[in-house]
Chains A and B, each alone.
Chain A
């Protein structure tokens, strides 16, 4: 199954090759540029001598870069994931499935091409400038941010993918993916603001235990926004990963039992 999935994934990446190359170039240039802009302020620290505070880099060092480029990465992943629906719409999927490739292999090949591949692209476009400038920036500081953004975008892409194979319409899958990745975070933030106001009105304290559910879909945003509540990166990952595995399992079960290409 794995070999067939890989062969078909190879075929899909070849179809999307131009788009991937353009996206990779844009991502790399933007990330390298922003990193180099931030570099002096990362490298240099100034303080009055008597303060005796030692350098402790911010755990959200890459936030200015990631908050810009993660949108490009997220949109690429969502669009690529929704692409399977256009294959089903055109009837190409039925043609591929008439070859000796199982439905599961077919879906896995799309997961590799539309979710794993953009994630590898994003990881490389950010990690290569970091590795060249100073490996400490990747292994010591920015690794957790990179992991969380990959988890967040993978969740959105799998939701878009699930919508594509259930609804079998590319436009619907794109709408679901974009809604989940771009609009829903604003709605959630609004709900959290209301919740925070309500809690302060009733005299209760607003803690991270009130909003952990935000990390189910948006682990990186949760980690970034609620730092002041003492949120840790592994808490965000621990909330998101079971959900990610659940939707993957659902995708596999749905594909095995109900997926029809025609």
Chain B
């Protein structure tokens, strides 16, 4: 029975290996949105980031699509920049970002970002951009910096009216991530370990079995050799 178990281990290993080789091509995606901001000023906004984490010890690369929409009126957006920042660096500068002025915020974000880009306008109130092949080792924060005119919104929100303005504005910054899991050394070494265990179980089980395949094979080889020797 040990032989059959060893064989099952090897079948499972073979099937898994075949699928894992196909694995980098499989990339379903997940999406998250941030509808809040860290700073809201008359001419710029720093949007609250979206954090992407890798919760397994897997080598993962991601392709990310980001888009930004305006909901509500009375504001105009000129430019939108996205920044991809390691979480540690973002956390360190988080409090500082709340106190700096526009140019300093931009400079700080650029200095800590692993990638940044200007988003392209898609429609009248929609911007988007894509980045690819980002290695996700440490958690990454995707955030957006928006330049425009937000005076009207600020004036509306500063009024002491108990009723919120009928048309209000929220930044809608979304990140959609396609993940690709790559097979690394850790997976290969575990494959090797399982292959060794399976092979040992198979060989021991077979040699213990009454109708051993190995013994049959060896006896056939012996017969073949003796036939060859006789022919010579």
Asked if B100 is an interface residue, CB under 8 A from chain A, the answer is no
Contact between chains at B50 and A120 (CB < 8 Å): no
Docked complex Cα distance between A17 and B7 (Å) = 11
Question: Which one of A21, A24, A43 contacts B54 once the chains associate, using CB atoms below 8 Å?
Answer: A43
Range, interface on chain A: 35 or more
Q: With A43-B55, A44-B30 in contact, is A132–B7 under 8 Å at CB?
A: no
Q: Please tell me the size bucket of the interface on B.
A: 35 or more
The residues in B between 12 and 33 inclusive whose CB is less than 8 angstroms from any CB of A are 12-16, 18-20, 22-23, 26-33
Instruction: Report which residue of B1, B141, B178, B180 has the largest number of chain A beta carbons within 10 angstroms of its beta carbon.
Output: B1
Q: Is the CB of B60 within 8 A of A47?
A: no
Contact B33 A49 (CB under 8 A): no
Which chain A positions have C-beta within 8 A of B187?
132-133
Please judge, given known A-B contacts A44-B177, A49-B141, whether A129 and B48 are in contact too, CB under 8 Å: no
The reply to whether A124 and B56 contact each other, CB–CB distance below 8 Å, is no
Does B70 touch A at the CB level, under 8 Å?
no
Residues of B within 8 A of A48 (CB): 32-36, 48-51
State whether A134 touches B136 (Cβ < 8 A): no
Of A32, A44, A120, which contacts B20 at CB under 8 A? A32
The answer to the question of A207 belonging to the interface, with a C-beta cut-off of 8 Å to chain B, is: no
Enumerate the 6 nearest inter-chain pairs by beta-carbon distance, A residue then B residue, closest first. A40-B179, A28-B15, A46-B32, A32-B19, A128-B12, A49-B49
Minimal Cβ-Cβ distance residue in B for A39: B181
Question: Main SS of the interface on chain B?
Answer: mixed
Q: Is the CB of B16 within 8 A of A32?
A: yes
- Tell whether B194 is near chain A: CB-to-CB under 8 Å: yes
Task: Assess A25 versus B191: contact at CB under 8 Å? Given A37-B26, A47-B50, A132-B20.
Answer: no
User: What are 12 pairs between A and B in contact, CB < 8 Å?
Assistant: A6-B1, A13-B1, A20-B4, A25-B11, A25-B15, A39-B26, A41-B30, A46-B177, A48-B33, A48-B35, A49-B90, A125-B12
Q: Please measure, in the bound complex, the distance between the C-alpha atom of A47 and the C-alpha atom of B20, giving whole angstroms.
A: 28
**Quick check: is A33 within 8 A (CB to CB) of the other chain?**
yes
Closest to B32 in A: A46
A13 partner residues in chain B, CB cutoff 8 A: 1, 4
**Are the C-beta atoms of A46 and B55 separated by less than 8 Å?**
no
Chain B residue nearest in CB terms to A40: B179
| Contact (Cβ within 8 A) A131 B1 | no
CB distance from A54 to the nearest CB of B (A): 9
Asked whether A46 lies within 8 Å of B52 as measured between CB atoms, the reply is yes
B58 within 8 A of A: yes
Q: Is the pair A46, B7 in contact by a Cβ cutoff of 8 Å?
A: no
Interface flag for B95 (CB, 8 Å): no
Q: Is A42 an interface residue (CB 8 A)?
A: yes
Contact B34–A49 (Cβ < 8 Å): yes
Partner of A46, one of B11, B19, B175: B175
**Cβ contacts under 8 Å, B92 to chain A:** none
Q: Is B62 an interface residue (CB 8 A)?
A: yes
Interface residues of A in 12-27 (CB under 8 A from B): 13-14, 17, 20-21, 24-25
Nearest CB of chain A from residue B209's CB, rounded to whole Å: 8
A204 to B78, CA, bound (A): 58
A209 within 8 A of B: no
A55 to B16, CA, bound (A): 27
Chain A residue nearest in CB terms to B141: A49
* A43 & B56 in contact (Cβ 8 Å cutoff): yes
B11 touches A28 (CB 8 A): yes
Determine if A45 is an interface residue (Cβ-Cβ < 8 Å).
yes
